[in-house]
């Protein structure tokens, strides 16, 4: 993997300084990246000041100043404004031919390349919010103009936020969004429901929170560290005729699997709709 010094041999600019940009910057700096090589452009003065104060990066209010001389651009704005941002950057992209990464949900690499004037190396990425803790996962798709060095640079950048998965068919990126991009919210919803149920069974709210949080955390660690499939881990904890079986049977009879399938399918579909709506 490309190391941090290789990534930042030339300046890296984040276009947008929101939470995801902040998490990536924090991850890079924690891995030894030189903050003097990291630039952030954001219209909000408070956001710029906080990033400078917390990480020692250089912040800009003007796009043209920020991208001048930068070899890698990270598009970290909201999808709804990205087309206009790219239009304002098209001339600079044509002149500099940077590696362009995007974290915008639903916006395709083809759209980004077209909005930037064509013939631009683009990596579309989909991180998720645990990136804020360095515990995220990111799906990546590279267009045909991204070479091996560009792929290595993109992977090293996104690895600052957690694990990475390359997707060779961009049509599957919306499924990444529906599975892992939106996925933390599914776990939070389950935790919320478990807390409410525990309180309904008479547990104090603080105790319910501790029991649920540690259960979710421990189960996630077992999934990550045991090497076993989820089905096998579930089987091991489900004793015939026991309490866990009673709960699992309730989930199964209530159609949990089908409901999860429908939820991810709908999130995937919505990703495609975002692409069409912003084209």
Whether the predicted pLDDT of 266 surpasses 50:
yes
CA count, 13 A, side-chain hemisphere, 168: 0
- Please say if the pLDDT value at position 2 is more than 80: no
Q: Which residue has the tokens 């030339």?
A: 10
What number does CATH give the domain 183-275? Answer: 1.10.3730.10
- pLDDT of 275 reads 76
User: What is the predicted pLDDT for the residue at 224?
Assistant: 95
Which residues make up the CATH 1.10.3730.10 domain(s) of the chain?
A: 183-275
- 127 CB-near residues (< 8 Å, 6+ apart): 20, 23, 24, 103, 136, 137, 138, 158, 161, 162, 181
Average pLDDT, the chain: 93
Banded model confidence at residue 39, pLDDT cuts 50, 70, 90: very high
> What is the per-residue pLDDT across 209-234, written as a single tens digit (0 to 9) for each?
999 999 999 999 999 999 999 999 99
Which residue ranges does the chain devote to CATH 3.40.50.720? 4-173
Give the three-state DSSP class for 240.
coil
Please give the model's pTM, rounded to 2 decimal places.
0.89
pLDDT at 134 over 90: no
What contacts 156, CB < 8 A, 6 or more positions away? 1, 2, 3, 4, 6, 7
Task: Specify the CATH class of 4-173 in words.
Answer: alpha beta
174, two tokens: 């919306």
| Window from 1-5, 110-114, 209-213, 232-236 with minimum mean pLDDT | 1-5
* Residue range 59-80, pLDDT digits in tens: 999 999 999 999 999 999 998 8
Residues paired with residue 75 on neighbouring β-strands, in sequence order = 15, 102
pLDDT of residue 6: 56
pLDDT in tens, 93-109: 999 999 999 999 889 99
pLDDT at 105: 86
pLDDT at position 1 is: 41
pLDDT band of 31, cuts 50, 70, 90: confident
């Amino acid at each position: 993997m490309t190391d941090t010094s290789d990534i930042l041999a030339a300046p890296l600019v984040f276009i947008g300084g929101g939470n995801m940009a902040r998490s990536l910057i924090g991850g890079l700096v924690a891995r030894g990246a030189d903050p003097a090589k990291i630039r952030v452009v954001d219209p909000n003065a408070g956001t710029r000041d906080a990033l400078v104060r917390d990480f020692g990066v250089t912040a800009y209010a003007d796009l043209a100043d920020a991208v001048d001389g930068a070899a890698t651009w990270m598009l970290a704005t909201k999808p709804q404004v990205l087309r206009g941002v790219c239009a304002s950057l098209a001339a600079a992209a044509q002149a500099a031919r940077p590696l362009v990464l995007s974290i915008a949900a639903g916006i395709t690499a083809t759209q980004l390349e077209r909005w930037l004037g064509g013939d631009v190396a683009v990596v579309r990425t989909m991180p998720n919010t645990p990136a804020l803790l360095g515990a995220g996962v990111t799906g990546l798709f590279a267009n045909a103009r991204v070479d091996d060095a560009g792929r290595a640079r993109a992977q090293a950048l996104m690895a600052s936020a957690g694990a990475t998965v390359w997707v060779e068919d961009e049509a599957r990126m919306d499924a990444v969004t529906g599975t892992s991009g939106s996925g933390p919210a599914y776990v939070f919803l389950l935790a919320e429901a478990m807390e409410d149920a525990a309180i309904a069974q008479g547990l104090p709210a603080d105790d319910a929170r501790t029991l649920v949080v540690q259960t979710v955390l421990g189960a996630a660690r077992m999934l990550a560290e045991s090497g076993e499939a989820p089905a096998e881990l579930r089987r091991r904890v489900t004793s015939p005729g026991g309490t866990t079986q009673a709960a699992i049977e309730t989930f199964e009879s209530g159609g949990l699997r089908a409901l999860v399938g429908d939820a991810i399918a709908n999130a995937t579909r919505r990703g495609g709709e975002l692409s069409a709506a912003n084209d």
